[in-house]
Structure 1
């Protein structure tokens, strides 16, 4: 064996969604801030993301999280979300995976009954309170970025579904939030393929027709996901669709935060209220509204999302210098109909 690169990887899932964690402490990415590093990964050098996310080392139904030294003194660690289409600023399920991996492997000291971990992300500082017992992180509560609405009831003319209404909101990433009943579908495992095809098509049209930009972090200026939702009082069914073509197995922390902002803008929730977000496989997050603030001149909410993660393996990933696929590959039979957009 003559690997020219070796990565230590902790295999984790959060409520069913795989969020692998690269814990190789020698890795870093150019940039003075985590947002600068995100831009570098997306615009300058995407080789690491492609190496770990694409086949034959990766697969469509997973995310890989890159743990980095923090760029700010009030953080314990930094991380960036690597997915097949690009690197993303933040993910709730993946923040839970990262904290679980850091504490349970001893990379950060665990203190029972609670350990506070501050994560430096491209979306800002994220504070995670991990409940700990007998060396295990039993749950993690994320106080994430202020979440806000850009558009309520935006009308989008689509090629496949005609005119639909959606909310454009930010919860660490930009989302198109769509009431699933408009498509004549329900959020259920047997509809995952139909939801994936619909979501990727709508996401493509959103990206082409609707500009977005964070008021204080202008480099965050793209849609990341479409989230289908079915609001039933304080229970919200969610199904987030990721490019090039798959659905999130978790209830989606950033999407649930964006949806919380949309519900608050409609007067459906207020400070102190809590919701349950339920994924397509029935796993759940608790979503709380801690307060109100502003982002630029936009009203915003302060969310807290609580969920659980489990380590299921530890592995080493390597690259032989003669490997013909250092940048990986993806095929539409498993990656979905929009695979050409990421290759």
Structure 2
């Protein structure tokens, strides 16, 4: 009879092509009085769990996950942490849409028509999701994100094996280096996926070394986590993007927080108005619809309040186990 050292339950979904493996049960309580403290604990102590569920043989190089927790704030419904193959993240847009959709579809949150509202306590701040319900079925979801802003504009960066590029740094729940893809001689098309990943990781290492960042009101957010390649859109899309992060992950969706960062950048540059629909397309051709619905301040920065709309679909239910005799039981990654 098999005896397993771990048994973890998840529900999997995808949002515009990007997976979310939502951890529902099987982990001990996470210490911390705030969600930021729990996020810090996860980064220090839950790397093994992250590798177990994100990496091979249970996951893959581009897997993404979320951990559902009790809320730390009385004005929220759940706590939510996010992870990829390399680390735990402060916020994720596609993962918020996937999590909210799964909670309503599974009856973990009572479905209310026409919209079911779920407030998440994340390490980037409170995020409010609205799940669109009709005749008992989820048809889509949108979320109002944390305030987003342009952090730095028109920075020159020398990148080994790439050359000199010009980029912006913007915040949309995570810090992004935003790079027009033509600067690296590539296109946001599936045939360039591997090269985009390789170049993106070189840029990510170089930009973090050259340009330290610090969120003005969230002291735990102090690094650039993602590179967002951009190019003009077609067929009704404003722009197309490819976001590189983690251990070389390439977001299959248009990236929710990346879309927020991009809208904040464009707004600051006078190229996107409040209340205007913004259609953002992924490398697969899937789309999010964004909109800026308000202005605010984050420390010294002029900021905006973004909303992102998309759709997620449940793909499976899993009970993952670890056999203590399995030499690869904690997971591995080949990239």
Q: Using the alignment, how far apart are the partners of 1:300 and 1:27 within structure 2?
A: 37
Whether 1:20 aligns to 2:34 is: no
Q: Using the alignment, how far apart are the partners of 2:64 and 2:135 within structure 1?
A: 28
Question: In 1, are the aligned partners of 2:322 and 2:330 still within 8 Å (CA)?
Answer: no
Question: In 1, are the aligned partners of 2:8 and 2:26 still within 8 Å (CA)?
Answer: no
Equivalent position to 2:292, from 283, 289, 293: 289
Structure 2 gaps, min length 5: none
For residues 1-343 of structure 1, what are the structure 2 equivalents within 5 Å?
A: 1-24=2-25, 27-232=28-233, 235-331=238-334, 335=335
Q: Shift in Å at residue 161 of structure 1?
A: 2.0
Q: Shift in Å at residue 60 of structure 1?
A: 1.1
After superposition, the C-alpha distances for 1:265-323 in whole angstroms (9 at most, x for unaligned) are 11001211121000000000001010110111111111000000000111111122222
Q: Using the alignment, how far apart are the partners of 1:184 and 1:26 within structure 2?
A: 45
Q: Shift in Å at residue 26 of structure 1?
A: 6.2
Tell me the secondary structure at the aligned position of residue 149 of structure 1. Answer: strand
Structure 1 gaps, min length 5: 336-343
Q: Using the alignment, how far apart are the partners of 1:153 and 1:234 within structure 2?
A: 24
Tell me the secondary structure at the aligned position of residue 6 of structure 1. Answer: strand
Q: Using the alignment, how far apart are the partners of 2:329 and 2:224 within structure 1?
A: 28
Q: Using the alignment, how far apart are the partners of 1:85 and 1:176 within structure 2?
A: 18
Q: Using the alignment, how far apart are the partners of 1:180 and 1:294 within structure 2?
A: 30
> TM-score of the superposition, structure 1-length normalised?
0.93
Q: Using the alignment, how far apart are the partners of 2:321 and 2:165 within structure 1?
A: 46
After superposition, the C-alpha distances for 1:206-257 in whole angstroms (9 at most, x for unaligned) are 1222101111111111111101011359611010012312310001010010
Tell me the secondary structure at the aligned position of residue 25 of structure 2. Answer: coil
Structure 1 residue ranges, 4+ long, deviating more than 4 angstroms after superposition = none
Q: Using the alignment, how far apart are the partners of 2:171 and 2:26 within structure 1?
A: 31
Question: In 2, are the aligned partners of 1:49 and 1:83 still within 8 Å (CA)?
Answer: yes
Q: Using the alignment, how far apart are the partners of 1:314 and 1:44 within structure 2?
A: 26
Question: In 2, are the aligned partners of 1:15 and 1:309 still within 8 Å (CA)?
Answer: yes
Tell me the secondary structure at the aligned position of residue 23 of structure 1. Answer: strand
Pair 79,27 (structure 1): closer, same or farther in 2 beyond 3 Å: farther
Q: Using the alignment, how far apart are the partners of 1:267 and 1:231 within structure 2?
A: 17
Tell me the secondary structure at the aligned position of residue 120 of structure 1. Answer: strand
Pair 211,171 (structure 1): closer, same or farther in 2 beyond 3 Å: same
Q: Shift in Å at residue 140 of structure 1?
A: 0.8
> TM-score of the superposition, structure 2-length normalised?
0.96
Question: In 2, are the aligned partners of 1:291 and 1:301 still within 8 Å (CA)?
Answer: yes
Question: In 2, are the aligned partners of 1:28 and 1:69 still within 8 Å (CA)?
Answer: no
Tell me the secondary structure at the aligned position of residue 51 of structure 1. Answer: helix
Question: In 2, are the aligned partners of 1:5 and 1:318 still within 8 Å (CA)?
Answer: yes
Q: Shift in Å at residue 43 of structure 1?
A: 2.4
Q: Shift in Å at residue 25 of structure 1?
A: 7.4
Q: Using the alignment, how far apart are the partners of 2:101 and 2:171 within structure 1?
A: 25
Q: Using the alignment, how far apart are the partners of 2:28 and 2:101 within structure 1?
A: 20
Q: Using the alignment, how far apart are the partners of 2:322 and 2:46 within structure 1?
A: 17
